[in-house]
């Protein structure tokens, strides 16, 4: 009879992580930005994704003890799933990065086999300050900015990685902790900085890796222009085109003599931008009684077409537009570095429909390539 060893795992939830995504704020670092997100109608998403992770891990529940942050920082979700827990800290109505650091420090002192956190790059930085290389960490993707290489590709994938590491012997790797300047990001400037490293279970198919920036070679620029020209020729009148962030999508605007936001989602009608840097609510209002089409490009090195950096194109927007009205574009060099595309909208029905159908990617003028979605 095989004896399964019992493990102790730290578990932290950043309850405000990801709230700025759908409302177009590109993050929630800072109290003023959080309040702005709430005024724009942002809803908490971290708790739901934390529960998805814990539910997926539940077959191992009897072999686990969780050391959790108090209240909304992990305790609430763990109790809902009936895990055995030890609570660190005191519950608060509002939490900050200092609370994440304090809880992380308390978890390390108790001695755990793995620390799992639900958040984004800001949360990763807070934990890295305290953890260093003392304990392996694994991120459940919950934030808006997720450039760090410590995140699983989805909450369900995080549960699989955790189980394989705890009981299957996955190796560890040093993963980059990256974060960007949110103020510059909101102004359309991407300034990513390396803040350090953490030890993370190594499973290349389920861990997203760090984001790769686009190259700016002459061939790449020509490829982007060819893709944009092909798309422009096929644009229909009286149709809203919801265009995601990226240099390849921006080329469409450049050829139309329009000024697109590099890191936001803009809406075109009759080949002109009619609404810049929109959030999910604004998109839904615009397309309520009009046909619409979505144009996105994958994140380099990660392959995400939805759920990373373009949360404004929510599952509700995708459902309203329809899967047949989605176009993915990518240069040949970007596609050559990807084995598959990925989605993580937070809506399992939409994610599964996208995975089941796969998608054609426009990689050059009148040139397409079929890609699977994981």
End-to-end CA distance of the chain: 35
CA distance linking residue 232 with residue 234, whole number of Å = 5
Same domain, 269 and 188: no
Considering the entire predicted model, what is its pTM?
0.76
Q: Is 118 strand, coil or helix?
A: strand
Domain identity same for 37 and 147: yes
Residues 57, 165: contact at Cβ < 8 Å? no
Residue 132: the pLDDT is 86
Question: Are 236 and 324 part of one and the same domain?
Answer: yes
HSE-CB at 372 with a 13 A cutoff on CA atoms is 3
What is the pLDDT at residue 214?
A: 61
Mean pLDDT computed over every residue of the chain: 88
pLDDT digits (tens, 9 = 90+) for 319-330: 999 999 999 999
> Under 8 Å CB-to-CB from 2, ≥6 apart: which residues?
none
Look at 180 and 343; give whichever has higher pLDDT. 343
* % of the chain exceeding 70 in pLDDT: 87
Q: Are 326 and 360 in contact (CB under 8 A)?
A: no
Question: Does a structural domain hold residue 211?
Answer: no
Count Cβ atoms within 10 A of the Cβ of residue 95 and give its class: 0-12 exposed, 13-18 middle, 19 or more buried.
Answer: buried
Residue 99, Cα to own-chain centre: how many angstroms? 23
Give how many domains the chain has, as a whole number: 2
Q: Over range 231-243, report the average pLDDT.
A: 96
| Cβ proximity of 11 and 116 under 8 Å | yes
Using an 8 Å Cβ cutoff, are 329 and 248 in contact? yes
Q: Is residue 207 part of a domain?
A: no
Does residue 183 lie in a domain region? yes
What mean pLDDT do residues 353-371 have? 94
Asked whether residue 154 falls in the same domain as residue 91, the answer is yes
- Domain boundary residue, one of 149, 166, 201: 201
Distance between CA atoms of residues 58 and 27, nearest Å: 30
> 182 is in which domain, residue-wise?
7-201
DSSP for 303-334, please give it.
-EEESSS-TTS-HHHHHHH-GGGEEEE--HHH
Q: What is the pLDDT of residue 349?
A: 95
Q: Is the pLDDT of residue 112 over 80?
A: yes
Model confidence at 209: pLDDT above 90: no
Specify if 213 maps to a domain: no
Phi, psi (deg, nearest 5) at residue 369: -140, 130
Instruction: Count Cβ atoms within 10 A of the Cβ of residue 171 and give its class: 0-12 exposed, 13-18 middle, 19 or more buried.
Output: exposed
Residues 197 and 223 placed together within one structural domain of the fold: no
Q: Looking at 170, 201, 232, which one is the last position of a domain?
A: 201
In a shared domain, residues 188 and 225 = no
pLDDT of residue 292: 98
Q: What is the mean pLDDT of residues 124-136?
A: 93
Residues with Cβ within 8 Å of 229's Cβ and at least 6 positions away in sequence, in order, are 255, 365
What was the pLDDT predicted at 23?
45
**What is the model's pLDDT at position 93?**
85
Provide the pLDDT for residue 178: 85
Q: How many CA atoms lie within 13 A of 304 on its CB side?
A: 30
**pLDDT for 18:** 63
Given a contact cutoff of 8 angstroms between Cβ atoms, the answer to whether 181 and 234 are in contact is no
Q: What is the pLDDT of residue 308?
A: 87
**Which tokens belong to 63?**
């072999």
Among 158, 175, 201, the domain-final residue is: 201
Q: What is the CATH number of the domain that holds 191?
A: 3.40.50
CA distance 129 to 140: 18
Considering the domain architecture, whether residues 187 and 225 belong to the same structural domain is answered as no
**Is the domain of 125 the same as that of 260?**
no
Instruction: Reply yes or no on whether the pLDDT at 236 is more than 90.
Output: yes
Give yes or no for residue 339 having a pLDDT over 50.
Answer: yes
Per-residue pLDDT tens digits for 19-77: 655 544 555 555 555 555 555 555 668 899 999 999 999 999 999 999 999 999 999 99
On whether residue 212 sits in a domain, the answer given is: no
Residues 195 and 48 in one domain: yes
210 assigned to some structural domain = no
Residue 131: inside a domain, yes or no?
yes
Query: Who has greater pLDDT, 97 or 212?
Result: 97
271-279's contacts with Cβ under 8 Å and 24+ in sequence apart are: 271/232, 271/235, 274/240, 277/24, 278/24, 278/242, 278/312, 279/22, 279/23, 279/24, 279/40, 279/312
250 and 180 both lie in a single domain: no
- Backbone φ and ψ for 40, nearest 5 degrees, come out as -80, 0
Task: Give the separation between CA 35 and CA 33, rounded to whole angstroms.
Answer: 5
pLDDT given at position 35: 59
Each residue's pLDDT tens digit, 71-108:
999 999 999 999 999 999 988 888 888 999 999 999 99
Cα–Cα dist 284/315, whole Å = 11
Instruction: Give the per-residue pLDDT at 186.
Output: 46
Task: Check whether residue 157 and residue 223 sit in a common domain.
Answer: no
Dmax over Cα atoms in the chain, in whole Å?
Answer: 70
Cβ(55)–Cβ(81) below 8 Å: yes
- CA–CA gap between residue 105 and residue 94 (Å, rounded): 19
The reply to whether 173 and 303 lie within a common domain is: no
Q: Region 192-209: what's the mean pLDDT?
A: 87
Of 114, 234, 240, the closest CA to residue 165 belongs to: 114
Q: What is the pLDDT of residues 282-335, one digit of tens each?
A: 999 999 989 999 999 998 878 999 998 898 999 999 999 999 999 999 999 999
Structure token pair of residue 202: 């190594």
pLDDT cut 90: percent of the chain above it? 68
Residue 208 lies in a domain: no
């Amino acid at each position: 009879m095989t004896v399964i060893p019992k493990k102790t795992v730290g578990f932290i939830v950043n309850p405000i992580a990801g709230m700025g995504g759908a409302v177009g704020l590109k993050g929630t670092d800072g109290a003023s930005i959080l309040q702005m997100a709430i005024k724009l109608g942002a809803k908490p998403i971290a708790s739901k994704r934390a529960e998805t992770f814990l539910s997926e891990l539940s077959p191992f529940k009897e072999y686990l003890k969780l050391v959790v942050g108090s209240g909304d920082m992990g305790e609430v979700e763990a109790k809902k799933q009936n895990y055995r827990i030890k609570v660190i800290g005191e519950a608060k109505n509002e939490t900050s990065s200092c609370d994440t650091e304090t809880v992380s420090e308390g978890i390390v002192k108790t001695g755990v086999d793995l620390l799992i956190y639900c958040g984004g790059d800001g949360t990763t930085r807070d934990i890295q300050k305290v953890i260093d290389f003392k304990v392996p960490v694994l991120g459940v993707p919950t934030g808006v900015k997720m450039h760090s290489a410590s995140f699983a590709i989805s909450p369900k994938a995080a549960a699989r990685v955790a189980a394989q590491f705890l009981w299957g012997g996955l190796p560890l790797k040093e993963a980059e902790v990256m974060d960007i300047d949110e103020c510059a990001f909101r102004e359309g400037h991407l300034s990513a900085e390396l803040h350090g490293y953490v030890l993370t279970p190594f499973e290349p198919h389920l861990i997203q890796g760090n984001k790769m920036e686009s190259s700016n070679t002459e061939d790449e620029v020509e490829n982007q222009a060819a893709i944009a020209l092909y798309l422009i020729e096929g644009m229909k009148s009286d149709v809203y085109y919801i265009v995601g962030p990226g240099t390849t999508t921006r080329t469409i605007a450049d050829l139309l003599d329009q000024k697109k936001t590099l890191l936001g989602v803009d809406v075109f009608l009759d080949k002109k931008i009619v609404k810049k840097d929109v959030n999910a609510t604004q998109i839904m209002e615009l397309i309520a009684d009009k046909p619409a089409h979505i144009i996105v490009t994958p994140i380099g090195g990660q392959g995400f077409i939805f759920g990373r950096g373009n949360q404004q194109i929510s599952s509700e927007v995708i459902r309203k537009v329809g899967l047949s009205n989605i176009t993915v574009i990518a240069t040949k060099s970007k596609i050559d570095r990807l084995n598959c595309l990925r989605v993580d909208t937070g809506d399992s029905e939409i994610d599964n429909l996208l995975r089941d159908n796969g998608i054609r990617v426009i990689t050059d003028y009148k040139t397409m390539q079929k890609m699977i979605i994981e």
